[in-house]
Structure 1
């Protein structure tokens, strides 16, 4: 039996799908995944010229040190994610989930909001590292988490600097920042993500035969891989470079869209969509 056919067999036997996604899920939509300095600096040449790494700019200290540069980086990403359309693999995953009694729950380290944009149920998404589409005070002031819908960052491509006004906290007038978990981040307001995780845990208690489809989760930030492996459910791991699976599961060393399309074809062959 081929690996794709085995993946289809595991899905067909399940009553709910856990869609566990890392940065690689967005690659087929044209999003960068920031693996290594070379990939990160290709996406942000101004930061490459200054030799600023991803870990240095995706850091709460950057908002104190150089708020216009930090907001230039995050403002560019916010605009990018707003304008990016999810690739067709999202729709394939959603169509598979809709055939299962308990549908799907998403667990993702991505902050891009692509699952919401692909029409996954907002109430069944856990963004473990937060969302760039939400804001908080740099001090965690009042513990508020705000929508970013009302801000439209204008960013200089040449300098990666924010040229529009810096967003300010309505309580203390200090700087607002994205409500995402950054490197070395002791000020992240996690209340929204914690509530999402509680809903996920409740959903998991309702499923008897979940299957995990993990897409594009690497070892550098292993949050998603660790989560997938601790559920004790069959695991379908999709990753072009790091697809090995411990225990019960299927390894698919492919990109996200290619693998999901292959699984869909295998399910069609088995009559899953009849």
Structure 2
């Protein structure tokens, strides 16, 4: 395919939203592909005020300024490592995002034949009411642990122990899972809370795709098969590929396959909502709707 280009100028925003609304109504099914931009629109920001609220002590000690880069730091002890990561997991997995963007998307897709493919690992779809059998989390889940070796192709729910880690640092957790930081939080957790594999005793780690040790457990494979079957059944129908907030970190998971299937399937259409990268290849420009803007604001207008 030729290099992508912006299929519509910014001044055509209202026209494009009307076209997308019509495409949603006309489609026999909708395959949504969601990236980090969707959660960013919902208020899950990894820097700025949100970072300082929960990690001001780590910022002061290490001169960190965002959660993403802080997560790669080689902490000296597992106790400090999990002090950082337990906060990180709690606010990005067990707390609700500040804005109801996922709920708006659920309202739009509810009652339609849809499937969601996502690289996000924050569980926001299920918290917003999406059917878990219509979701495929390709890159893992903040709510799951796996063996760091790994010795077994299994994952472990982590909410209970993450809660204990967070509380041990002096934080309070409200009924809605909102996290309240103390004036001076502890920067380590007790050694007995460091999670270890029940099979081999090695430290557990997050079930996030970072290298070849990522565990694709039974649930992952079942979701992958459901997605593949959904594609097989709907290829001959009017399919709308709806891409939301994906970039070019892992374009081979959502973006490129969506472009290719739109090109190959006669009745398929492609729609993209992205704050800065609403693009489509020239080959599918006549079958594409590209909207450059905040996803939450666009969904509110549909």
Q: Please state which band the TM-score falls in when normalised by the shorter chain.
A: 0.7 to 0.9
Quickly say closer, same or farther: Cα 1:139–1:56, change in 2 above 3 A. Answer: farther
Partner Cα distance (1:94, 1:70) in 2: 35
Confirm whether residue 242 of structure 1 aligns to residue 242 of structure 2. no
Quickly say closer, same or farther: Cα 1:40–1:82, change in 2 above 3 A. Answer: closer
Q: Secondary structure at the match of 1:119?
A: coil
Please say if residues 42 and 296 of structure 2, whose CA atoms lie closer than 8 Å, have aligned partners that are also in contact.
no
Deviation (angstroms), 1:172: 1.7
| Structure 1 equivalent of residue 10 of structure 2 | none
Greater Rg, structure 1 or structure 2? 2
- Give per-residue Cα distances to partners, 1:23-66, cap 9 Å, x unaligned: 111123321256xxx8997675525853668676545x948x64
Partner Cα distance (1:66, 1:237) in 2: 43
- Give per-residue Cα distances to partners, 1:181-216, cap 9 Å, x unaligned: 12xx22111234333122111112222222122221
Partner Cα distance (1:96, 1:55) in 2: 31
Please say if residues 74 and 178 of structure 1, whose CA atoms lie closer than 8 Å, have aligned partners that are also in contact.
no
Confirm whether residue 206 of structure 1 aligns to residue 233 of structure 2. yes
Q: Secondary structure at the match of 1:243?
A: coil
Quickly say closer, same or farther: Cα 1:132–1:106, change in 2 above 3 A. Answer: same
Partner Cα distance (2:82, 2:250) in 1: 23
- Give per-residue Cα distances to partners, 1:136-164, cap 9 Å, x unaligned: 11111222211113212327577894424
Partner Cα distance (2:22, 2:196) in 1: 52
Gaps of 5+ in 2: 1-13, 170-180, 263-267
| Structure 2 equivalent of residue 132 of structure 1 | 142
- Give per-residue Cα distances to partners, 1:97-117, cap 9 Å, x unaligned: 2343xx221111111000010
| Structure 2 equivalent of residue 186 of structure 1 | 212
Please say if residues 44 and 98 of structure 2, whose CA atoms lie closer than 8 Å, have aligned partners that are also in contact.
no
Partner Cα distance (1:72, 1:224) in 2: 33
Query: Which residue of 248, 251, 255 maps to 2:290?
Result: 251
Partner Cα distance (1:39, 1:104) in 2: 35
| Structure 1 equivalent of residue 9 of structure 2 | none
Partner Cα distance (2:186, 2:50) in 1: 13
| Structure 2 equivalent of residue 91 of structure 1 | 103
Deviation (angstroms), 1:92: 2.8
TM-score, normalised with respect to structure 2: 0.73
